[in-house]
Structure 1
Amino acid sequence: MRHLSYPPKPRPGDRVAVVSLSSPGPALFPHVYELGLRRLREEFDLVPVEYPTTRAPRADPRDRARDLVAAFADPTVRAVLATVGGEDLITVTPHLDDAVLRADPKPFFGYSDNTNLLHHLFQLGVVAYHGGSVLVHLGRPGALHPLTADSLRAALFTSGWYDLTPADEWSDQPNDWQDPASLAVPPVMFPGQGWHWQGPARVVEGPAWGGNLEILHWLLAAGRVGPDADLTGCVLVIETSEELPGATEVYRILRNLGERGLLARFGAVLVGRAKAWDFARPLTGAAKQQHLDEQRAAVTRALGEYAPDAVVVFDVDLGHTDPQLIIPYGGTVRVDAPGRRISVRY
């Protein structure tokens, strides 16, 4: 089992880098971005530091890599937050200077396409943080969700154990960012139904690894994952994006991980609440529930075939969900099936 190093935490008043490593969200939706920055200042007492590509509409991958390296090289910057996800960060990581990232490791927060960098830091032996988005979660319409705010604050500033909490309400239907007036209206929310547990009644503890399932598949196809032994004893964390991959695709991705021998290495699996709505596919009612049920069945089938002894928890509020709980990527996660409890060490 790998043991990664936790980078030092920022303190209130510190400077933190805000970077756009993939999608140019701040250039497209400046009003949402500015709201996220204001909350970073006012609610977390952190000073955001921008870079040449943070608001650039079409930045070269080499320039985005240069900005990230500059953030890690600056001793006054004590954490790094991604503005949003995207779809081409896989072209950025080859241009990073790993010696600089190792020399002064800093907490990095991001999810979705940022799985590329989370995994890259994992391979460098540095704990990072799955979650936290300046646009999506800090820029949430109405107000920050209390669970998101509490988890992010704990991950930023504390180093002890933190118990994850099932959400009483949740949403996967964001407001329309193209309408600035929508920022004043909270998103539609649905009643929470808790987590759903499968597998043996035992306690599993290990470093977290995984992220967005589609991005993991890209990383595997690009030969970026390995050696496989580094994942032995890890807790697998998976979630799916607003592209709403179907049950067949989800099963096949997991089957491929199983055929490689990866799934058998995980003693526990945390499955994020599946996103089942997008502006291009606004599923509601029975169609939405069918998507959720079919995706859970696909995950259950694959894990039953390749990791039958794993403890599995569905509908954890991580990834493309609101609220969003922060997972320490490479940090320690404890999955207590008898106690129905998930704890993370930030």
Structure 2
Amino acid sequence: MSAQSMRFVHPAPVHPGDRVAILSPASGLPEIYPVVYELGLRRLREEFQLEPIEYPTTRKMNSPLVERARDVHAAFADPEIKAIICSIGGDDQIKLLKYLDAELIRANPKPFFGYSDNTNLHIFLWNLGITSYYGGSIMVHWGRAGAMHPYTRTYLKRALFERGLYEIEPAPNYTDELIDWGSDDLLSKQPKMYPNTGWRWLNGEKIVEGVTWGGCLEILDYNLRASRYIQANENYEGKILLLETSEEMPPATYVYRVLMGMGERGLLQQFSALLVGHPPAWSFECRRSPEEKEQYINEQEEAIRQALREYHPDLLTVFNLDFGHTDPQLIIPHGGYVKIDALQKRIFVEY
């Protein structure tokens, strides 16, 4: 079935007291950082009233792909499991997809939460016509140092428990300077937050509505290179592209080249709008000053603008959304409806 004729299934919301699967279909970091992971589980129970159910590979690093796939199948097939939440991202999940039973998953749709390397599973679900939710990680968001950020908590609760059209707003503050998971005072530390500069608009004066597709740029690049899970160009016509970069902080030249490849492929031209996540510009290995961070962010934005000038000069684009690797995090539907009103500078998403 082509995406043009596809109707996306919105899995039912969860309710307090429901059982939810906690999976590690990418990296098994809960084994290495159990304190962070268990903090996230505790908040899921206490602040969301949900019962986390773990699987054999959830706390296991370097699990064989077939074992990870077995856990994914078990979570989707179990009628007592009402949603699936990833523990963390990783870097090899594309290799998992060939082991997945598409018909089993199609027959048992349920809300799926994850980001970063979990872009692979979002693409897999999109191809099955199942709406998923880009964002949310037990270790990063529920297990956040100090306390969950109220902005993240708000959008997680909407995506989990509610259904309907909601207006989203920029986060009041943000950070990319996360707390070291190995620090002794992890539970009491608060991340250093910075004022958020808000959204930046390109090619406004229009209203665009459509279904979203995309995710982490580096993982989209995996899929574009493999060309196994990317559909024909025309199946993305009118869709809204989501892009964000990871904590690996790819250089602007790489970002441009990925979009150049999409343009040469004829794919970039299919989209009716582009939403870009706020890029992280700091890591423990690369501790940039505020001025250096601003330069990195501006260079990435210019790389995207350059690609658009060449391949899709009239594409409505909004920069600096909060759905990526910075904190706090907006949860955005993947394969879900979004309305972008550039006239009033407002965005609405359907959970």
Q: Decide: shared fold, TM above 0.5.
A: yes
- What residue identity is the alignment partner of 2:86? A
Q: CA deviation at 1:208?
A: 0.6
Q: Does 1:178 align with 2:154?
A: no
Query: Paired residue for 1:9, among 5, 8, 13?
Result: 13
Using the size of structure 1 for normalisation, the TM-score is 0.98
Q: Does 1:128 align with 2:132?
A: yes
Q: Does 1:104 align with 2:108?
A: yes
- What residue identity is the alignment partner of 1:310? L
Q: Provide the rounded CA distance (Å) in 1 between the counterparts of 2:314 and 2:125.
A: 29
Q: How much identity, in percent, do the aligned residues show? A: 49
Q: Does 1:23 align with 2:23?
A: no
Q: CA deviation at 1:266?
A: 0.9
Query: Paired residue for 2:330, among 325, 331, 342?
Result: 325
Q: Provide the rounded CA distance (Å) in 2 between the counterparts of 1:93 and 1:83.
A: 18
Q: Which residue in the other structure is 2:226 paired with?
A: 222
User: What whole-Å deviation, never above 9, does each CA across 1:216-250 have from its counterpart, x for those lacking one?
Assistant: 01001111211222211111000000110000000
> Which consecutive residues of structure 1, in runs of 5 or more, have no partner in the other structure?
none
Query: Paired residue for 1:89, among 77, 93, 96?
Result: 93
Q: Which residue in the other structure is 1:162 paired with?
A: 166
Q: Does 1:300 align with 2:305?
A: yes
Q: Which residue in the other structure is 1:274 paired with?
A: 279
Residue 200 of structure 1 contacts residue 309 of structure 1 at CA under 8 Å; is this kept in 2? Answer: no
User: What whole-Å deviation, never above 9, does each CA across 1:76-130 have from its counterpart, x for those lacking one?
Assistant: 0000000000001011111011111011101000000000000000001100110
| Matched residue SS, 1:71 | helix
Residue 20 of structure 1 contacts residue 82 of structure 1 at CA under 8 Å; is this kept in 2? Answer: yes
Q: CA deviation at 1:58?
A: 2.1
Q: Which residue in the other structure is 1:62 paired with?
A: 66
Q: CA deviation at 1:282?
A: 1.3
- What residue identity is the alignment partner of 1:164? I
Residue 142 of structure 1 contacts residue 183 of structure 1 at CA under 8 Å; is this kept in 2? Answer: yes
Q: Which residue in the other structure is 1:250 paired with?
A: 255
Matches within 5 A, 1:140-151: 140-151=144-155
- What residue identity is the alignment partner of 2:290? G
Q: CA deviation at 1:180?
A: 4.2
- What residue identity is the alignment partner of 1:161? L
> Which consecutive residues of structure 2, in runs of 5 or more, have no partner in the other structure?
none
Q: Which residue in the other structure is 1:314 paired with?
A: 319
User: What whole-Å deviation, never above 9, does each CA across 1:33-84 have from its counterpart, x for those lacking one?
Assistant: 0010011101111000000000012210110011010000100000000000
Q: Provide the rounded CA distance (Å) in 2 between the counterparts of 1:229 and 1:342.
A: 25
Q: Provide the rounded CA distance (Å) in 2 between the counterparts of 1:64 and 1:73.
A: 14
Query: Paired residue for 1:286, among 291, 295, 298?
Result: 291
Q: Provide the rounded CA distance (Å) in 2 between the counterparts of 1:101 and 1:199.
A: 39
User: What whole-Å deviation, never above 9, does each CA across 1:114-171 have from its counterpart, x for those lacking one?
Assistant: 0000000000110011000000011111111111000000000111011111111100
Q: Provide the rounded CA distance (Å) in 2 between the counterparts of 1:201 and 1:267.
A: 14
Query: Paired residue for 2:242, among 237, 259, 274?
Result: 237
Q: Which residue in the other structure is 1:40 paired with?
A: 44
Query: Paired residue for 2:193, among 186, 189, 193?
Result: 189
Q: Provide the rounded CA distance (Å) in 1 between the counterparts of 2:188 and 2:308.
A: 42
Residue 29 of structure 2 contacts residue 60 of structure 2 at CA under 8 Å; is this kept in 1? Answer: no
| Matched residue SS, 1:298 | helix
Runs of 4+ in 1 over 2 A off after TM superposition: none
Q: Provide the rounded CA distance (Å) in 1 between the counterparts of 2:221 and 2:332.
A: 20
